[in-house]
């Protein structure tokens, strides 16, 4: 008997939030680990020297900072569908890092089929923020209590 391949709980398609997004194919239960955020493990220093993933928008990256504050996962290199999960100020998913430094996205609540998967990016930027940079990191999630930015506010 041939082995059956499990169909992922998600699909990548065009998003109303921004560019591409990741959407539930079926109901996903609260607490379900949906996908691992994959890519090349490197340092901020190395990742910041790489060409932008979108030359028209240097603030659009696929870099996920790890808890140690020095290492990152650059999903622009060998990344998977998790890199397309968009930000929301009222997310239905959360991220967690395991003891081995692997990052996973899990459901914070029940997610309905067709619903876009989102998590709060809580971005941090070193140094002074220009108006242009702040505008580039503006939130487009549309949540009722949207804070207007993907940045982690102090």
With a cut of 90, say whether residue 33 has pLDDT above it: yes
Task: Tell me whether residue 4 is in a domain.
Answer: no
Give phi and psi for 35, each to the nearest 5.
-160, 150
Task: Provide the residue range defining the domain that includes 132.
Answer: 10-136
pLDDT digits (tens, 9 = 90+) for 52-73: 665 555 555 788 999 888 899 9
Give 13-17 contacts, CB < 8 A, sequence gap 24+. Answer: 15/84, 15/86, 15/116, 16/116, 16/142, 17/86, 17/87, 17/88, 17/116, 17/118, 17/140, 17/141, 17/142
Task: Tell me whether residue 152 is in a domain.
Answer: no
Q: Evaluate whether 150 touches 87 at the Cβ level (below 8 Å).
A: yes
Q: How many domains does the chain have?
A: 1
Task: Tell me whether residue 81 is in a domain.
Answer: yes
The DSSP annotation for 142-153 comes to --TT--SBSB--
Task: Tell me whether residue 51 is in a domain.
Answer: yes
pLDDT at 136: 83
Task: Tell me whether residue 99 is in a domain.
Answer: yes
pLDDT at 56: 58
DSSP state of 117: P
Alpha-carbon distance 124 to 115, whole Å?
27
Task: Tell me whether residue 1 is in a domain.
Answer: no
Q: Name the range with the highest mean pLDDT among 43-47, 106-110, 135-139.
A: 106-110
End-to-end, the C-alpha distance of the chain in Å comes to: 57
Task: Tell me whether residue 82 is in a domain.
Answer: yes
Task: Tell me whether residue 154 is in a domain.
Answer: no
pLDDT digits (tens, 9 = 90+) for 3-32: 667 788 999 999 999 889 999 999 999 999
Q: What is the CATH number of the domain that holds 58?
A: 2.170.270.10
With a cut of 80, say whether residue 153 has pLDDT above it: no
pLDDT digits (tens, 9 = 90+) for 105-135: 999 999 999 999 999 998 877 778 888 888 8
Instruction: Tell me the Cα Rg of the chain.
Output: 16
């Amino acid at each position: 008997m041939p082995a059956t391949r499990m169909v992922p709980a998600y699909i990548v398609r065009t998003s109303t939030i921004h560019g591409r997004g990741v959407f539930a194919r079926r109901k996903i239960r609260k607490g379900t680990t949906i996908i691992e955020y994959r890519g090349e493990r490197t340092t901020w220093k190395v990742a910041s020297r790489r060409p932008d993933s979108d030359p028209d928008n240097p603030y659009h990256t696929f870099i996920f900072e790890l808890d140690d504050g020095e290492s990152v996962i650059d999903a622009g290199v060998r990344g998977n569908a998790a890199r397309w999960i968009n930000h929301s100020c009222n997310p239905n998913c959360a991220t967690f890092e395991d003891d081995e430094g692997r990052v996973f996205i899990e459901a914070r609540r029940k997610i309905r089929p067709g619903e876009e998967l989102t998590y709060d990016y809580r971005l941090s930027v070193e140094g002074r923020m220009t108006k242009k940079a702040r505008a580039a990191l503006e939130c487009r999630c549309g949540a009722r209590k949207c804070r207007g930015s993907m940045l982690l506010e102090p």
